[in-house]
Amino acid sequence: MRPAPDLSLYLVTDTALSRPRPVADVVRAAVAGGATAVQVRDKDASRRDLLALTRAVQAAVAHRPDVPVVVNDAVDVALIAGADGVHVGQDDLPAAEVRRLLGADALLGLSVESVEHLAAALRLPAGTVDVVGLSPVWATPTKPDAGPGLGLDGVRELAARARAGGLRAVAIGGIDSGRAAAVAATGVDGICVVSEICTAADPEAAARRLRAAFDRAGAR
């Protein structure tokens, strides 16, 4: 059995939004504040730089083996770094192929933006995908091409379908501390956050606020 990590507050990194701070410093602070999982995401980085970034993030949370480090898209980088998992989108490598490469113990996430995407994920053999990222909850400047948003009702419906099919669900897009409780109340297993943490003057405090909002509303 794969361990089921706590995905309550899932930080997705952004190198540009973290500047001038190194991403690893933001990650360390966010985990101190209560982030429970980290995804290393940098669309502009070369594979070589993404590997270095992944290793820096792993080093920053080495004292917290309960906090998984997941790599966005790059299966090769995840394998080389010995990361805990990979997150892919609809246009990335197919989840079944990624699972085959990663083995049974890795955490595999898949972005879904519609009922159709989720239905396709649920048709995959059990154990292929662990968690779906419901995306986006709201339109967000962090990912301008992410679409108009599922809204809270959309997230609630998709989270229920995912859960009924044995998948965990996290939500991403436009989540800040003011909105975190409403998202938590939809029944998702976690909230994914980029800008609210990466642009915060105090990422530890930002993570603490988000985590408190999630725990209050989403406690299960």
Interface with ligand TZP (CB under 6 A):
12, 135-136, 140, 142-143, 146, 172-175, 193-195
Q: Find out whether 78 and 102 touch, Cβ atoms under 8 Å.
A: yes
Q: Would you call the peptide bond into 125 cis, given omega within 30 degrees of 0 as the criterion?
A: no
We find the least distance from the C-beta atom of residue 103 to ligand TZP, in angstroms, to be 25
Residue 7 touches which of ligand TZP, Mg ion, none (Cβ within 5-8 Å per kind): none
Q: Find out whether 50 and 71 touch, Cβ atoms under 8 Å.
A: yes
> Is residue 40 annotated as involved in ligand binding?
yes
> Is residue 72 annotated as involved in ligand binding?
yes
> Is residue 140 annotated as involved in ligand binding?
yes
DSSP element (H, E) containing 219: none
Residue of 111, 177, 209, 211 marked catalytic? 111
Catalytic site residue 41?
yes
Q: Which amino acid is present at 109? A: G
Binding of Mg ion at residue 149 (CB under 5 A)? no
Q: Which amino acid is present at 54? A: T
Residue 73 touches which of Mg ion, ligand TZP, none (Cβ within 5-8 Å per kind): Mg ion
The Cα 118–Cα 110 span in angstroms is: 9
Kindly state the DSSP code that residue 174 receives in the 8-state scheme: S
Nearest CA among 114, 118, 113, 71 for reference residue 93? 71
Q: Find out whether 133 and 87 touch, Cβ atoms under 8 Å.
A: yes
Residues 57-96 that bind Mg ion (CB under 5 A): 73, 89, 92
Catalytic site residue 177?
no
Catalytic site residue 220?
no
Which residue's CB is nearer to Mg ion, number 140 or number 186?
140
Q: Which residues are catalytic?
A: 41, 111, 143
Instruction: Give contact residues for Mg ion (rule: CB under 5 A).
Output: 73, 89, 92
Annotated binding site: 39-43, 72-73, 92, 111, 140-143, 174, 194-195
